[in-house]
Chain A
């Protein structure tokens, strides 16, 4: 029973997340004068030594030190040696979205027979309503310099309406820049009902666009006629579509592979939609089309090749190569083909991975200034807020980051982040692989405790220097620990939990003390405490 509860806690990352301890909220801070910093406004040439004045959440002025005078009431921030950039924009994430609770269906007999039904039609779901900001997540984004995110939900075909947030605290009402931003559409399928295949999904999309048009026409006829026409039946599904398909508010198509991109381009053309493409980690393969279509492109930095890809059908060797070399070159190839784009973390689970993959994209040939544009001014324009964010200009929202060294570099780090003029100081330098303080190799036992229960677990570590691998086992199976590092006494590791058919990436971070390991396991939408004790030798 206990186990079951814990199980459901782990997989059903649910709404039960109420005890957030974030206290800081969006507020108008003091007036700041950032002095002696290098300024990269993105929209204008670099200023080697300058001043930025932030007042009332906006950039009041900026310029070379000689030109800008510092207001009396300003709190001066000495930024010698730091570089100021506009806050980065992640134009597609599923941040703060908790995975919907999966209904566990009692299957009697054959597991093949599932009664599960999901319509996949959620155009009226407002992401703003379902999201739950979480301090640790915000911090992790601040740490890599991201101040603004577009949050969308992933489940379904019509996955809902996204919201553009400024990460200025934990009160979502104060974070909103634009709500809703767009209707999001995925080329996925429903479950148990039509459509069960992507060809059905395409038919559904085309039919629903036609229906929205018809619904709209009928309604306007009805209004025009005044009387004599039977009133149209209210249809919440089509009601939700009309603003996007008829009034041409933006639609974002989530594209898992190159065929999805072509599907989206076809629909955009056929129904004259105002649309953006997201995902698109195979975009370089259809660069010609994208160049012609001139559709805003939100390129995901998820480098996992899609299942349909030629690179996963021709052997393991090529598959690995694809993830390591071919897909990371997407952005750089697009740039070479003259296609403009924004970069997003869509499909990635953590902010750190986002930064890591930005670096990989740079390694694969993307010029740094392009990467910077793709995370600032391009997304700002695509999201229709080019006048508000995306560059350092007087009058724009004060989303500013101060970086030691150059942005995106391994050695450099984000020191201070201003969002809506609110200052966030970064806690401590990122953990850069110190030598391990002790050896934790061997068997450990303990419990995972979360809001819904406890789970017995056994962990076996293997250690080489400060690198940690191993396995974590529980009633739900044995999962492999990868990417572990023991830096001093700080232990971090990642493992992929496979529960039922779902894979969930979980990260642990905590401390090691002699025979005790304590810390937190983070998973999409929640966390749990993990405590481990060294198992006595030769115990089974």
Chain B
């Protein structure tokens, strides 16, 4: 294992800027393995070769020299996936205009955002990091792995869906902010109207190009053909029409969710998931029929009017009604306790342990289009794993190790060891200082 420690002289920082190589080999032994999709294996082993899970079972022999983690008495689960965050970015919203599908959060990745480390400490290995909710049509989102210490381009998950952020309700209306200028739209009517307008424009734009291409290919025309202007904003929406990109829509109220579904059908683009969806329980039937998921807070609510019906039963109830539900953090703090939120879905909604765990593993993976590589412990998937000291749905649990592609990115034991060494060293230094003064 190539483990370069930069600036070992800076003792304190040593803990946190360790760089690892990718696609490692690793054997996890004797853990209680919660596979999420294939039940629980007591005292089981997981073999990861080249970053990929090769074997799950009992008594797997480690090839010579392979790194082994002893997970006796511990719980091994797939790395947690957060379907809605804004971490690892150096910008949040392109707030200057209401319609900005041309902007891409991939252009403002910041792999040095400490929130990545925070995510790891909560067992999170993959996140969907999104444009903010200030615009009816925001920007293009991205899926990242929490490879702390790696450059931005290496943490992008290319297998994931390309998604575009939409937002309805109070935020695009700018209801709760002071803004220097009054911006259209200021009502839910306006939000829908402006989305419709832009898609119609995009349709027109596509037609222009089609006509141009046709004319160019027909040998009859001898006139000089001027190509239409290439417009990135329209191109992004055209990609929605082409099905190359799908919508993730920030929405709280049941009515606006239904209206947006209608709008997406009218215009002809696909919406895969509603964000927050506080009132989804009111329309679980429609969501189930349309096969549209929701990505919600378990119980964060009543921070604004449109979240006032955001009951804690939402996730559990919708799950039971057949809606694909994931729990998100939307925060660089909540991200480290998504497993606590999942446990609450057992109390509020009566989900089984397995169903509760799915809310933070395979369900978000399905919503992100990364279910082939993540979201459960299965042979062939990436070795993205979190190890907990207690059952991950216990209130007394703690993430001890977080692994991405067979590589350990967070190890509490190591952290404690280094912290202790550092504290010792600091104490010694202070002693010296005091001694020197006397």
Contacts and interface: CB of A to CB of B under 8 A. Distances in A.
Interface of A: 110, 112-115, 190, 192-200, 202-203, 206-207, 210-211, 214, 217-218, 221, 224-225, 228-229, 258-259, 262-263, 285-286, 308-310, 313-315, 317-318, 321, 326
A310 B105 CA distance: 19
Residue among A196, A214, A225, A317 with the highest chain B CB neighbour number at 10 A: A196
B13 A199 contact: no
B12 A317 contact: yes
A321 B232 contact: no
B40 interface: no
A227 B311 CA distance: 68
Contact of B113 (A195, A200, A313): A313
Contacts of A190: 96
Contacts of A308: 90, 110, 112-113
Contact of B100 (A193, A203, A229, A286): A203
Query: In the complex, which of the residues A114, A259, A262 has the most CB atoms of chain B within 10 Å of its own CB atom?
Result: A259
Contacts of A203: 94, 100, 102-104, 107, 232-233
Given A114-B180, A211-B229, A196 B95 contact: yes
Contacts of A313: 112-114
Interface stretch (B220-228, B302-310, B320-328): B220-228
17 contacts: A112-B178, A190-B96, A192-B96, A192-B181, A194-B97, A195-B96, A197-B91, A198-B90, A198-B91, A199-B104, A199-B131, A200-B94, A202-B108, A203-B103, A217-B227, A308-B90, A315-B12
B90 A259 contact: yes
B10 A309 contact: no
Given A214-B230, A313-B113, A314-B16, A199 B152 contact: no
A199 B105 contact: yes
A113 B12 CA distance: 41
Contacts of B104: 199, 202-203
Contacts of B12: 315, 317-318
Q: Closest 7 interchain pairs by CB?
A: A197-B91, A310-B112, A202-B107, A196-B96, A200-B94, A194-B96, A199-B103
A224 to B, nearest CB: 6
A316 to B, nearest CB: 10
B385 interface: no
A326 B7 contact: yes
Contacts of A218: 226
A238 to B, nearest CB: 11
B92 interface: yes
Contacts of B16: 314
A194 B94 contact: yes
A229 B224 CA distance: 9
B153 interface: yes
B212 to A, nearest CB: 12
A190 B92 CA distance: 15
Interface residues of B, number: 44
A2 to B, nearest CB: 32
A225 B224 CA distance: 7
Contacts of B7: 321, 326
B155 to A, nearest CB: 13
Contacts of B139: 199
Nearest to B114: A313
Nearest to A215: B229
A207 B101 CA distance: 13
A442 to B, nearest CB: 28
Given A113-B180, A198-B91, A199-B108, 10 more contacts: A192-B180, A196-B95, A197-B94, A198-B107, A200-B96, A221-B226, A262-B152, A285-B151, A308-B90, A308-B110
Contact of A195 (B94, B223, B231): B94
Contacts of B13: 314-315, 317-318
Contacts of B112: 308-310, 313
Of A200, A218, A326, most buried by chain B (CB within 10 Å of CB) is: A200
B107 A286 contact: no
B93 interface: yes
A200 B108 CA distance: 10
B287 interface: no
A232 to B, nearest CB: 9
Contact of B91 (A114, A199, A207): A199
B206 interface: no
A52 to B, nearest CB: 45
B103 A202 contact: yes
A210 B230 contact: yes
Given A110-B178, A196-B94, A207 B152 contact: no
A196 B138 CA distance: 13
Interface string B71-107: 0000000000000000000111111110010111101
B17 interface: yes
A224 B92 CA distance: 46
A115 B180 CA distance: 6
A218 B227 CA distance: 8
B377 interface: no
B318 interface: no
Contacts of B179: 113
Nearest to B180: A113
Interface string B225-245: 011011111000000000000
B180 A200 contact: no
B421 to A, nearest CB: 16
A263 B96 contact: no
Given A113-B178, A210-B232, A314-B16, A263 B107 contact: yes
A211 B102 CA distance: 15
A207 B232 contact: yes
Nearest to B149: A310
A112 B178 CA distance: 7
Given A197-B92, A199-B103, A221-B224, A259 B10 contact: no
A309 B153 CA distance: 16
A200 B224 contact: no
A29 B81 CA distance: 73
Contacts of B180: 113-115, 192
Contacts of B113: 308, 313
Given A198-B107, A318-B13, A229 B226 contact: yes
A206 B95 contact: no
Given A193-B96, A199-B94, A286 B110 contact: no
B130 to A, nearest CB: 12
Nearest to B110: A308
B109 interface: yes
A197 B114 contact: no
A231 B94 CA distance: 34
A539 B105 CA distance: 59
A287 to B, nearest CB: 11
Contacts of B110: 259, 308
Nearest to B107: A202
Give the most central of A199, A310, A318: most B CB within 10 Å: A199
A89 B231 CA distance: 41
Contact of A286 (B151, B226, B229): B151
Nearest to B236: A203
Contacts of B97: 194
A214 B230 CA distance: 8
Contacts of B91: 197-200
B230 to A, nearest CB: 5
Interface in B138-191: 139, 151-153, 178-181
A194 B233 CA distance: 13
A137 to B, nearest CB: 34
Contacts of B223: 228
A313 B116 CA distance: 12
Nearest to A321: B10
Nearest to B134: A196
Given A197-B91, A310-B112, A317 B107 contact: no
A355 B16 CA distance: 34
Contact of A197 (B108, B151, B230, B232): B108
Given A259-B90, A308-B112, A317-B12, A199 B107 contact: yes
